[in-house]
Structure 1
Amino acid sequence: MKQIYVNCSNGADCESIISALYDLYDNKTEFLNVINNLEIGDINISFKDRKINNRVFKSVSNDYINYNKGKEIDNNILEEDIPLDSLYAYEVGYDDYLKERATINNNVTNENNEQSNSEIMDFPLDGLYAFEVGYNDYLKGRSEFQKKEQDVKYEESNDFPVDSLCAFEIGYDDYLKEMIKNHEKEHEHNSILLNEINNIIDKTNLDFNIKEDIKNIFSILTLAMAKVQGIDVSEVHFHKDKIFYDITYVCGVAYLINKLNVKKVISSSVAVINMSKNADSSYYIVNEILKGIPVHVKENTKNLTPLAAAVIKYYSDEFIDDLSIAYNNIGYGIGEDEDIFLEVFIGDYNNQLIPEDKVISLLVDLSDMNTNEIDFVFERLLQSGALDVYTIPIHKKNGYSSLMEVILNPEDEESIVKEIFKYTKAFDIRRKEYDRYVLDKKVENIYTKYGMVRFNVAKGFGVNKVEPEIEDLKEIANRENITLDEIDFK
C-alpha cells in the first residue's frame, strides 16, 4: 500500500507538484519519454537542478518546439485612456482638442527648453483632420499625399473598420463597442474551451483512468472560473499560450501518481494569504476551489495557483496537519517562483490499519434460472469488469433458490447493473458499499525450470505473498502430464 503526504504549507503550483513527484519516481527517462511524446502543443519538458540555500532541488524546465506563442490580448479598454486618444476630439471638438494638445506640448517645451510646432505640423496627416474636412475628403487627401510623398497607393478597404477614424462616421460609443468586439474575437481565436481540452486529452495514449483524472481536474478548475466570472462553463476560455503547458503538467502529475501506485493522498491544510484588497481573479478562483477544504491564513506566503488547487482538491482524501509519518522517501519540488516549495512524503502513516479501497456489492435473486443460464450471466459480468461473481444457496418459502453477489468497482456500477437486468430475470437489485483492505499487488514474470511463469506478488500489512497464476499452472500440468500438486518450483 502506498500513501503520500503533501506538505503545501508554502504554497503550490503545478511546477512544484510535478517536480516533487518526479523526484520520487525511479524511472525518470521513461517518464520524460512518455510525457514528451504526448505532443500537446509541441511542448517539451525537462528538469534541472536549482541550488537554494546550499541545497539542490529539482525544478521543471520547459520549451516550445514548434509552437508560436500568441500575443495576449488586453480585453479591457479603459475609459481613462481615451482623453489621450485622438477620438477625444470627437467629443470635445477639434479646436478645443488642438488647444489642449498645444498646452501639453508647450509644457513639454518649457521643460526641455525647446520649441515644438507639432500641434500645427502633424494635423494635415492626422486622423483628427477628418473631423473638420469630412471622412471621405480626408481619405482622398491622404491618398493623394501618399501618392506624392511615398508613391504608395492607399487601400481603403482594410484598415478603417478598426481605425479611429471610423468613429467619425459611426459615433464614439458605437466605435468603442466595435473595438471591444474585435478584441473579443481576437481573444477567442487565441483561446480554447473545456471541450477542446478534453479532446486533446482523449487523443493521448495515456491509460483511460489517467485521462479521466486529468479531465476531472480541469472540470474543477473550469467550474470555479465560471462561478467567479459569472458565466456558463461552456463560455470559459483558456489562453492557448499557457494552457498547453498546464495540460502537459497535469498529465505528468496524473501519470506519476498512477505509476507510483498511490492509493491514498493526504495533504496539509492549505495556506492562503489575506488578499481581499487589490486581488486578481486567480485569488478568487482559488478561494472558490478551496471551499470545504481546511485552510489557514498565513502572511508572507505564496498562494496556490488555481490549477494546483484543483489538483490538490481532486487527489486529496484527507487534510491533516499533525501527522506522524513513517516515510520511505521524500520528493522536493520548487515552483516557478522559488519561494514556492513543496514536499511530498511517501510511506505508511501512523502505522494505522486504513481501508484504502471501496467496492460495491450487488445482490440478485436468481429464481427460475437454471445452471447454464447462470454460468452465462457469470461470463458476461466478468467480461464487463466485475471483480468477482458467486452464488449463495438460499431457502425461500416456495423452495430453494440462489442469491448472486457481484463485487465491482464503483465506476463500473452503471454498466454492470444494466447487464444484470438484461441477462437475468430479476426485477430488483440490492446494493451495499464496502471499504476494502487490499495488498499492494503486481504480476511478475519469473523464469523457472518449467519456463517463464507469471506470479502474483502481493505485499503489505506485514505480509509478502507470492502465488503462481493458475492458468500457467494448468498449462504446465497439461504439458508435463502431471497434477497441479506435483508442480514444484524448488
Structure 2
Amino acid sequence: MTSLFLEPFSGLSGDMLNGLLIDLGGDADKLRLALQDFSIGEYKVNVERTEKSSIYGIDFDVCIKNHGKDTGIKNDFAHHHHHESRGLVEIVNMINGSGLSGTVKEHSINVFNDIAKAEATVHNVGMKEIHFHEIGAIDSIVDIVSFFILWEQLDIDKVYSTPITEGSGTIHVAHGEMPVPVPAVMQLRKNYPLKIIQDFEVKTELVTPTGLALFKEIAPIFISPTDMYVSKVGYGFGKRNTGKFNALRGSLLTSKHSKQEVRSNNDEVIKIEVNIDDQTAEQIGFAVDKLFENGALDVFCTPIQMKKNRPGVLMTVLLKTTNFNKIAYLVFKHTNTAGFRYQTMKREVMKREFKSVEFEHDVVRAKEYKYKDITRRKLEYEDCASVAEKRGWSLYSTYKKLQNLF
C-alpha cells in the first residue's frame, strides 16, 4: 500500500489528476486496454510527457472524433468537443456492464452520482433528467473511469492534501457567462469539509466539477504527512493558460521506518504489549495502521485465550524510546484497553544503508545489511515490480537480472 500527497496549487481537473497518476507510475497502455470495454464512441487517449516552465510532467488528453468535419488534426480527433449527451442511468448501466473491477465501478459511479446531484440542484430538475456535458460527454466519462483504473494500478490507500486553489472572475460555459467558482462546483462544496483558497490574480476557472468530484471520492485529509518518505514526485498538467504554472503536483509516500538507514549494530527499543478482547478485526487493523503511520518500528498481533475462555488478541508494538509518549497516546486512543505493559529492551541489529544503480533509465535501489564480516543485499520490491511491469517480465526473473547489478 502507498500514500499520496496532493498539492492542488493550481486547481483540479480530470486531465490533471489522470496525468499525475501516470507520471507517478500508472501504465497508460494498460489503461487504454481496460477502456476497450466501453462502447461510447470514437475517441483517443493521448498521453504526452512534456514540459511547462522547464518542469516535466504528463499532458493527458481525451480526443473525440469530430464527425462530419475533417479537422486535419490528430487523425480527425478534436480536443474536448462535447458532441455526446448521455443520462446518468445510461452511464451507470454502461459502467456496471463493463469488465472493470468492482472497485473501479463503485468509485466511478459515486463520482457520476455526485456530479449529477450537483447539476440537478443547480438546474432544479431530477437527477435522472440530467443530460449535460459534465457527465454525458465522452471525455468526462473517460476522465473519471480512467482515474480509478490508474488509482487501482498504484494501490493507493491514503491521501493527504494541501488546500485547493480556485481562480476568480467569470467563465463562459454551456449556459452562458458564469462566476468562478461555477455553480456546479459550489454545489459540490456543500456539506463537505474542503479547504479552498481563491487566487484573485487568476481570472479563470481552476477547479472543474469533474476534478472536485474525483478529489472528494478519494477523500484526502488536509494535514501534512509525518514520518513518511517521498518515493516519487509527479506532475499532471492543466490545459488553461492561467498566467502561472498550471499543474497538479503529487508525491507517493512510504513509511519512514522502512526507509531509514541504521548506523549502529545495537540500540534500545521499547516493547508495548496490549491485550484486546472487545474490538473488531477492522478496528484493530485501523489501530495497527495508525501506529505504523506514527513511527512504530513494528506492530503485530497474536491470538490468545483470555479470562473466562474469551478469545482475544495480543498486540505487540516495538518503538524507539524517544517515541514512547506519542505511541502510548495512540494505543489508548485507538484500542479499548485500560492499560498496557511495556519494557525497554536492548537490540542487536545489522547496519543498513541504501544503494542505487541505473538500469535502462530506471533507478533500482537495494538495502545493504552489514554485521561484522557479514554483508547481504535485498532489492527494493517497488523498484523490481516497476521494472517487471514495464518490460513484461516475471518478478522472479527480474530479481535474478537485477541482483547482478550490485
TM-score (norm 1): 0.45
Corresponding residue SS for 1:41: coil
Which residue number corresponds to residue 256 of structure 1? 150
Shift of 1:56: 3.6
The aligned residue for residue 2 of structure 1 is 2
In structure 2, C-alpha distance between the alignment counterparts of 1:227 and 1:313, rounded to whole Å = 18
Change (3 A) 1:65 1:231: closer
Query: Partner residue of 2:206?
Result: 303
Task: Tell me if the contact between 2:19 and 2:60 (Cα under 8 Å) persists in the aligned partners.
Answer: yes
1:17-166, aligned counterparts within 5 Å? 17-25=17-25, 27-36=27-36, 38-65=38-65
Per-residue deviation at 1:190? Answer: 6.0
8 Å CA contact 2:42, 2:65 repeated in 1: yes
Q: Is the 8 A contact 1:32 1:46 kept in 2?
A: no
Q: Which of structures 1 and 2 has the bigger CA Rg?
A: 1
Aligned to 2:11: 11
Match for 1:18: what amino acid? N
Give the whole-Å Cα distance in 2 for the aligned partners of 1:23 and 1:464.
23
Q: Say whether the 8 Å CA contact 1:36–1:45 is kept in structure 2.
A: no
Pairing 1:236–2:137 present = no
Q: Deviations over 1:155-188 (max 9, x none)?
A: xxxxxxxxxxxxxxxxxxxxxxxxxxxxxxxxxx
Q: Could you list the per-position Cα deviations for residues 221-275 of structure 1 after superposition, in whole angstroms to 9, with x for gaps in the alignment?
A: 1111122222222222223996211111111110111110100011221112344
Distance 1:350 1:206 in 2: 34
| Bigger strand fraction | 2
Say if 1:252 and 1:190 are closer, same or farther in 2 by CA, change over 3 A.
closer
Q: Deviations over 1:25-53 (max 9, x none)?
A: 25432233223453433322121233323
| Deviation, structure 1 residue 214 | 0.3
CA offsets 1:342-392 (integer angstroms, 9 cap, x no match)? 11111137879xxxxx9657xxxxxxxxxxxxxxxxxxxxxxxxxxxx997
2:183 to 269, 272, 284: 284
How far the C-alpha of 1:465 sits from its partner, in A, is 12
Question: What is the aligned length?
Answer: 258
Alignment partner, residue 221 of structure 2: 318
Equivalent-residue separation in structure 2 for 1:40 and 1:273 (angstroms): 32
Deviation of 1:198 after TM superposition, in Å, equals: 0.3
Greater RCO (CA < 8 Å, at least 6 residues apart) = 1
Identity among equivalent pairs (%): 19
Residues 267 and 240 of structure 1: CA distance in aligned 2, closer, same or farther (over 3 Å): closer
Paired residues of 1:266 and 1:319 also in contact (CA < 8 A): yes
Give the letter aligned to residue 6 of structure 1. Answer: L
Structure 2 equivalent of residue 457 of structure 1: none
Which residue identity does 1:303 align to in structure 2? L
Instruction: Assess if the C-alpha contact under 8 Å between 1:40 and 1:248 holds in 2.
Output: no
Indicate the residue corresponding to 1:337 in structure 2: 240
Unmatched 5+ stretches in structure 1: 70-188, 353-357, 362-389, 406-433, 436-462, 467-490
What secondary structure does 2:118 align onto?
helix
Q: Using the TM superposition, give the Cα deviation of residue 17 of structure 1 relative to its aligned residue in structure 2, in angstroms.
A: 0.8
The 1:273–1:28 alpha-carbon spacing in structure 2 relative to 1, beyond 3 Å, is: closer
Instruction: Give the distance between the partners of 2:123 and 2:281, measured in 1 at CA.
Output: 38
> Which of the pair is proportionally richer in helix?
1
Q: TM-score, normalised by structure 2?
A: 0.53
Structure 2 CA distance for partners of 1:322 and 1:260, relative to 1, 3 Å? closer
Task: Go from structure 1 to structure 2 and tell me whether the alpha carbon gap of 1:351 and 1:276 turns closer, same or farther (over 3 Å shift).
Answer: farther
Secondary structure (helix, strand or coil) at the match of 2:182 reads helix
CA contact (8 A) 1:41 1:67 kept: no
> Gaps (5+ residues) in structure 2?
70-82, 172-176, 259-279, 284-302, 314-333, 336-377, 382-406
Is the 1:282–1:306 Cα contact (8 Å) retained in structure 2? no
